[in-house]
């Protein structure tokens, strides 16, 4: 059913993915005082993974009739989100070693993939509860 709670979690995961695309992930200040901001679209692999995860979350909302596929796609979304976090870390580490930064800090965009992991987990839990409910109702027939 599309009005279930997992639809809300998946919609929020989609929004978090799209915000990850737009918001800065990391900011650093070089020795001469200029600021360097790292965004998701600067890396083709990171950009592709962010968009794929967002689209995956959106498509998963409408697969409510096939709960098994929905659970599989939620698990895949968790894996992709972990991949985004790891890729962000490695991209920023490469950037830090390539240039000498005086100060650096992670921005809000870097936290959103972690939020996506949590939202996919909550959606997975909701789908699993729906499966249990349907199985219990089938036993009553």
Q: Is residue 25 a contact partner of residue 110, using CB atoms and an 8 Å limit?
A: yes
Which phi and psi angles does 62 have, rounded to 5°? -90, 5
User: Domain of 55?
Assistant: 5-140
- Whether the pTM exceeds 0.85: the reply is yes
CA distance 105 to 36: 11
Q: What total of structural domains would you count in the chain?
A: 1
CA distance 12 to 45: 23
Q: Is residue 120 a contact partner of residue 74, using CB atoms and an 8 Å limit?
A: yes
Dump pLDDT digits (tens) for 59-94. Answer: 999 998 898 999 999 999 999 999 999 999 999 999
**Higher per-residue pLDDT: 77 or 40:** 77
H or E element, residue 38: strand 35-39
Q: What is the CATH number of the domain that holds 116?
A: 1.20.140
């Amino acid at each position: 059913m599309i009005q279930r709670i997992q639809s809300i979690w998946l919609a929020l995961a989609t929004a978090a993915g799209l915000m990850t695309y737009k918001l800065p992930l990391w900011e650093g200040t070089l020795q001469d005082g200029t600021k360097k901001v790292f965004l998701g679209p600067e890396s083709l692999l990171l950009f592709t993974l962010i968009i794929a995860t967002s689209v995956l979350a959106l498509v998963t909302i409408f697969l409510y009739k096939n709960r098994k596929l929905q659970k599989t796609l939620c698990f895949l979304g968790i894996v992709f989100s972990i991949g985004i976090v790891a890729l962000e870390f490695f991209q920023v580490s490469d950037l830090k070693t390539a240039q000498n930064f005086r100060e650096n800090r992670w921005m809000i965009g870097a936290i959103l993939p972690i939020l996506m992991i949590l939202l996919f987990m909550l959606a997975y839990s909701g789908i699993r509860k729906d499966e249990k409910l349907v199985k219990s109702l089938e036993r009553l027939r």
